[in-house]
């Protein structure tokens, strides 16, 4: 096992990784930007190294700075967390060539699934249902028009290098397909340096269901059941839960097996997520693979009782999987909400600044993963998530009530937060029914003219 790990990340996930390392007897090296000098995770690490200026590109995304820190601190492995360099195959390769273990899949697997058109082809070859669409990348307008004619409108134009909703366009007729094709292409070229796009039939208001997978370096793969992430706003998840309210034992069996077939086809090891869309007839379609630990991994930890960071570290160290598929259990119901320092009344505008008072909730069934504290100054440079609040109870109804009461106890003074909105979501009859889809937030909490606030003079 590793003696010393560097964490190439910040905030909540840096703290989360340090906690597991402590329990495993592994020393931790935390890196930080000048904007994070007073961050909590720095007090919890064994060693800290400043890696640069506040902008991500000059710190948490700066490969030479991070590798230098790893060399100076003499670590054996790097955990990339989520975001930043976590799905950068070049970074994984640089780590490996410096004899530092990248805690994640191989560079080849990251590359194979990072290209979404390629991931589709892998899934198809593995016999996993994919959304009807183009046969590979769409090279020009003519192929786009011909493909859309075959599929029927509406269709979606997606960037092969994209994911998580970036570089996507919906087209409902030929003219919007042609303009969307070029718009998606140049957006993808600018954002990812790769303008490759492909086409899919647009599925109206699907459910978003993803399967957590775990694989060792000896070819064994298991899944840790599903998470339902249908409550999203502009591709940012607000609520995640497991089990999915729409799931049946048969569907779970079929989707879990499909997730593993996709991962096998990509030669995948370590932790990953296979994302599916589910339509109203409970047909499921593979959409993409996330080659990292995700924000919502903790929901799976609650229902399975496993520590996914520990599993990642063990898999990266070459250990075989310690449990078989039939030994993984899904106990009770877990729900997580992401608490962001944003103002829901100002179009979710980030609300950085000093937290004057921070009083976390507690009690039975509650877990809080947060790096915030009274007096903490939220830097304006990074994403606005200040914590994840979770409830784990025997039933969905009980978990919702538990999480709603915990949110009600939470005191965060200073920045505006999404807590009031999250309480409204949890208390909404449609969410309580479990029969909601990815259109939920837009339908019930979208900006309507009456709700548009009058701009104030500052």
In angstroms, the CA 307 to CA 140 distance is 46
Q: What are the CA-CA distances from residue 388 to residues 238, 354, 377 (Å)?
A: 10, 19, 18
The residue count for binding ligand MV4 (CB under 6 A) is 17
Q: Does 232 bind ligand MV4 (CB under 6 A)?
A: yes
Which of 45, 188, 238, 287 contacts ligand MV4 by CB under 6 A? 287
Residue 138 is encoded by which pair of tokens? 């769409």
Residue 304's φ and ψ, nearest 5 degrees, are -100, -15
CB of 31 to ligand MV4, least distance (A): 29
Q: Which is nearer to ligand MV4, 8 or 277 (CB)?
A: 277
Residue 442 is encoded by which pair of tokens? 């837009």
In angstroms, the CA 297 to CA 103 distance is 16
Segment interacting with ligand MV4, rule: CB under 6 A, options 106-114, 195-203, 301-309, 311-319? 195-203
Which of 36, 210, 228, 275 contacts ligand MV4 by CB under 6 A? 275
Which of 120, 208, 261, 269 contacts ligand MV4 by CB under 6 A? 208
CB of 278 to ligand MV4, least distance (A): 10
Q: What is the CA radius of gyration of the chain?
A: 22
Q: Which is nearer to ligand MV4, 105 or 167 (CB)?
A: 167
In angstroms, the CA 254 to CA 68 distance is 45
CB of 383 to ligand MV4, least distance (A): 17
Which of 111, 200, 240, 241 contacts ligand MV4 by CB under 6 A? 200
From the list 120, 207, 233, 292, the catalytic residue is: 292
CB of 296 to ligand MV4, least distance (A): 13
In angstroms, the CA 264 to CA 41 distance is 35
Near ligand MV4 in 288-307, by CB under 6 A: 288
Instruction: Compute CA 139 distance to the chain's CA centroid, rounded to the nearest angstrom.
Output: 30
CB of 184 to ligand MV4, least distance (A): 13
CB of 282 to ligand MV4, least distance (A): 16
In angstroms, the CA 390 to CA 407 distance is 10
Q: Which is nearer to ligand MV4, 168 or 341 (CB)?
A: 168
Segment interacting with ligand MV4, rule: CB under 6 A, options 66-74, 196-204, 305-313, 317-325? 196-204
Q: Which is nearer to ligand MV4, 151 or 378 (CB)?
A: 151
Q: Which is nearer to ligand MV4, 187 or 307 (CB)?
A: 187
Q: Does 241 bind ligand MV4 (CB under 6 A)?
A: no
Residue 413 is encoded by which pair of tokens? 């003074």
CB of 224 to ligand MV4, least distance (A): 20
CB of 208 to ligand MV4, least distance (A): 4
Q: Which is nearer to ligand MV4, 28 or 232 (CB)?
A: 232
Near ligand MV4 in 136-165, by CB under 6 A: 156, 164-165
Segment interacting with ligand MV4, rule: CB under 6 A, options 34-42, 200-208, 318-326, 339-347? 200-208
In angstroms, the CA 300 to CA 196 distance is 34
Angle at 301 between CA 244 and CA 26, to 5 degrees: 160
Q: Does 259 bind ligand MV4 (CB under 6 A)?
A: no
CB of 164 to ligand MV4, least distance (A): 5
In angstroms, the CA 444 to CA 438 distance is 11
Segment interacting with ligand MV4, rule: CB under 6 A, options 199-207, 323-331, 390-398, 415-423? 199-207
Q: Residue 368: how many CB atoms within 10 A of its CB?
A: 15
Strands 101-102 and 77-79: parallel
Q: Does 203 bind ligand MV4 (CB under 6 A)?
A: yes
Which of 41, 202, 348, 410 contacts ligand MV4 by CB under 6 A? 202
Which of 6, 26, 103, 131 contacts ligand MV4 by CB under 6 A? 131
Q: Does 346 bind ligand MV4 (CB under 6 A)?
A: no
Q: Does 277 bind ligand MV4 (CB under 6 A)?
A: yes
Cβ atoms 353, 378 nearer than 8 A: yes
Q: Which is nearer to ligand MV4, 105 or 162 (CB)?
A: 162
292 in catalytic set: yes
Q: Does 438 bind ligand MV4 (CB under 6 A)?
A: yes
List residues near ligand MV4 by CB under 6 A: 131, 156, 164-165, 200-203, 206, 208, 232, 235, 275, 277, 287-288, 438
Q: Which residues are catalytic?
A: 292
């Amino acid at each position: 096992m590793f003696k010393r790990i560097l964490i190439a990340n910040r905030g909540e996930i840096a703290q989360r990784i340090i906690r597991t390392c402590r329990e495993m007897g592994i020393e931790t090296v935390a890196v930080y930007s000048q904007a994070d000098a007073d961050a909590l995770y720095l007090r919890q690490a064994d060693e800290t190294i400043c890696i640069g200026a506040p902008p991500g590109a000059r710190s948490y995304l700066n490969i030479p700075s991070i590798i230098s820190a790893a060399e100076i601190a003499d670590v054996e492995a790097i955990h990339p967390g989520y975001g930043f360099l976590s799905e950068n195959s070049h970074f994984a390769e640089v780590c490996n060539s410096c004899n530092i273990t990248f805690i994640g899949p191989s560079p080849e697997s990251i590359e194979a699934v990072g290209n979404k058109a390629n991931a589709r082809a892998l899934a198809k070859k593995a016999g996993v249902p994919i959304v009807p669409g183009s046969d590979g990348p769409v090279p020009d307008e003519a192929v786009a028009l011909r493909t859309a004619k075959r599929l029927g409108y509406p269709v979606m134009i997606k960037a092969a290098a994209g994911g998580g909703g970036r570089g996507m366009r919906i087209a409902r007729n030929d003219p919007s397909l042609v303009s969307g094709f070029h718009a998606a292409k140049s957006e993808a070229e600018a954002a990812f340096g790769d303008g490759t796009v492909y086409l899919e039939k647009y599925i109206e208001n699907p459910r978003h269901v993803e399967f957590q997978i775990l694989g060792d370096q000896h070819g064994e793969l298991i899944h840790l059941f599903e998470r339902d992430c249908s409550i999203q706003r502009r591709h940012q998840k607000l609520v995640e839960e497991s089990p999915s309210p729409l799931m049946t034992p048969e569907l779970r069996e079929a989707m879990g097996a499909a997730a593993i077939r996709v991962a096998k086809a990509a030669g995948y090891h370590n932790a990953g997520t296979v994302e599916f869309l589910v339509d109203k007839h409970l047909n499921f379609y593979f959409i993409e693979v996330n080659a990292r630990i995700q924000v919502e991994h903790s929901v799976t930890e609650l229902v399975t009782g496993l520590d996914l960071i520990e599993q990642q570290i063990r898999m990266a160290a070459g250990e075989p999987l310690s449990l078989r598929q039939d030994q993984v259990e899904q106990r009770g119901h877990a729900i997580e909400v992401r608490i962001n320092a944003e103002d829901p009344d100002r179009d979710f505008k980030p609300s950085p600044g000093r937290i004057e008072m921070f009083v976390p909730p507690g009690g039975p069934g509650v877990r809080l993963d947060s790096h915030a504290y009274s007096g903490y100054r939220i830097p304006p440079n990074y994403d606005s998530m200040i914590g994840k609040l979770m409830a784990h109870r025997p039933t969905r109804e009980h978990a919702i009530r538990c999480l709603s009461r915990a949110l009600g106890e939470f005191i965060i003074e200073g920045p505006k937060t999404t807590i009031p909105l999250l309480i409204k979501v949890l208390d909404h009859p449609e969410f309580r029914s479990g029969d909601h889809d990815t259109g939920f937030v837009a339908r019930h909490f979208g900006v309507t003219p009456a709700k548009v606030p009058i701009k104030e003079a500052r």
